[in-house]
Amino acid sequence: MTYLLLLADGFEEIEALGTADLLRRAGLDVTLCAINRGPDAGGTVVRGAHGVRVMADVSLADINPDGYDAIILPGGMTGTQNLAADDRVIELLRKADADGRCIAAICAAPAIVLQTAGVIHGRKVTGYPADPLIDRIRETYTGDEVTIDGTLITAAGPGSFKAFAAAIITAAKGDAHTAQVLGEALMA
């Protein structure tokens, strides 16, 4: 399976990089994709919410959006607002959802990006446990650390990145492989 992890300025670093690290340790093909606008459009350097600069593998303009089995969205308030404001991202999510591909979102991403894209469709979700974010998804909000509903995987926030990554790995390779990866990373 191939995974596209979207990074917009203001992304939550631990959610994006911790998740990408664990997925790659699991042998999954993860592409970090920069979503830049304005003067940085087409560039691959993205600034995280806490000032960490990351060089993504590709820019959104350079990918085949149908070439990925799953889309991953980290949180970070500014990052998720930037993702939700990008029509290309919203269309990518709508198409992935319509195609039955996996969408995984953590922290503010379910309430901000998935809600904007309209891909929640009454499915159970979780996310960062604060108003006004919860108000956007209250009808389907579980309050759990991780919620899986069909092809949709959501998680609560920064401290949930390990459980979030574990859910994605388990969906791809099963419980035993997930346990092995977490054990080798001393996270079991």
Which residues participate in catalysis according to the annotation? 107
Instruction: Copy the structure tokens of residue 13.
Output: 């670093």
3-state secondary structure of 153: strand
Give residues with Cβ within 8 angstroms of 6, minimum separation 6: 33, 35, 60, 71, 72, 73, 74, 83, 89
φ/ψ bin of 7: left (φ > 0), alpha (ψ from -120 to 50), beta (otherwise): beta
Which amino acid makes up residue 113?
V
Chain-centre distance of CA 42, in angstroms?
Answer: 20
Return d(Cα 181, Cα 26) in angstroms, integer: 6
Return d(Cα 145, Cα 121) in angstroms, integer: 20
DSSP 74-111: ---HHHHHHHHT-HHHHHHHHHHHHTT-EEEEETTHII
Return d(Cα 144, Cα 105) in angstroms, integer: 14
